[in-house]
């Protein structure tokens, strides 16, 4: 009888989503809805995930492996960040389709969960509570980055 009201156990993938600052306020049922919208992608070490100047269309969540973010600087590339499992990047693409301001590539073989802007916009219409929670987390994340930039702190999740 008591098991009837127990929250469902979360799969390793759902636990990874729950551990992300972007989705940590979601309930297990809401996480399952988000998981259904995620697209799984695998990249080999040194493979480019997206390039500087490309149109942003999705946010990426690192499920396993590591990625490196860099941007053109003079004749070479400047490393902006190295991200590992649980980190996300490309978050501004949920808001608009502006060109990417950096390149991201796999540092090792990695698995990413991809959340496309079109799916996020659809979610905002069909389930505004989940959309609100994600939007608030996204706004807080962007606000933290802006405050860090203004105070000269290093950018950990710069894109």
Find the domain containing 118 and state its range.
11-150
Q: How many domains does the chain divide into?
A: 1
Closest CA to 87 of 60, 69, 52: 60
- Does any domain span residue 98? yes
- Does any domain span residue 5? no
- Does any domain span residue 156? no
Per-residue pLDDT tens digits for 65-107? 999 999 988 888 899 899 999 899 999 898 888 999 999 999 9
Distance CA 82, CA 106 (A): 10
The one-digit pLDDT tens for each residue of the chain (159 residues) are 444 555 556 777 888 888 899 999 999 999 999 999 999 999 999 999 999 999 999 999 999 999 999 998 888 889 989 999 989 999 989 888 899 999 999 999 999 999 999 999 999 999 999 999 999 999 998 898 888 878 877 655 444
- Does any domain span residue 157? no
CA atoms within 13 A on the CB side of 84: 0
- Does any domain span residue 124? yes
- Does any domain span residue 52? yes
In CATH, what number is assigned to the domain containing residue 142? 2.60.120.10
Give the predicted TM-score (pTM) of the model. Answer: 0.85
């Amino acid at each position: 009888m008591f098991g009837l009201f127990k929250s469902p156990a979360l799969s390793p993938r759902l636990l990874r989503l729950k551990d992300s600052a972007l989705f940590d306020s979601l309930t297990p049922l809401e996480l399952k809805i988000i998981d259904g919208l995620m697209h799984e992608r695998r990249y080999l070490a040194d493979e480019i995930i997206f390039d500087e100047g490309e149109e942003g269309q999705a946010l990426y969540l690192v499920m396993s492996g590591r990625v490196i973010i860099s941007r053109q600087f003079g004749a070479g590339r400047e490393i902006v960040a190295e991200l590992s499992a649980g980190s996300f990047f490309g978050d501004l693409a949920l808001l608009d389709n502006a060109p990417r301001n950096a390149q991201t590539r796999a540092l090792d073989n990695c698995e990413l969960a991809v959340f496309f802007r079109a799916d996020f916009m659809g979610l905002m219409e069909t389930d505004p509570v989940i959309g609100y929670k994600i939007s608030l987390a996204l706004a807080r994340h962007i606000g933290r980055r802006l405050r860090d930039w203004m105070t000269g702190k290093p950018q950990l999740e710069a894109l």
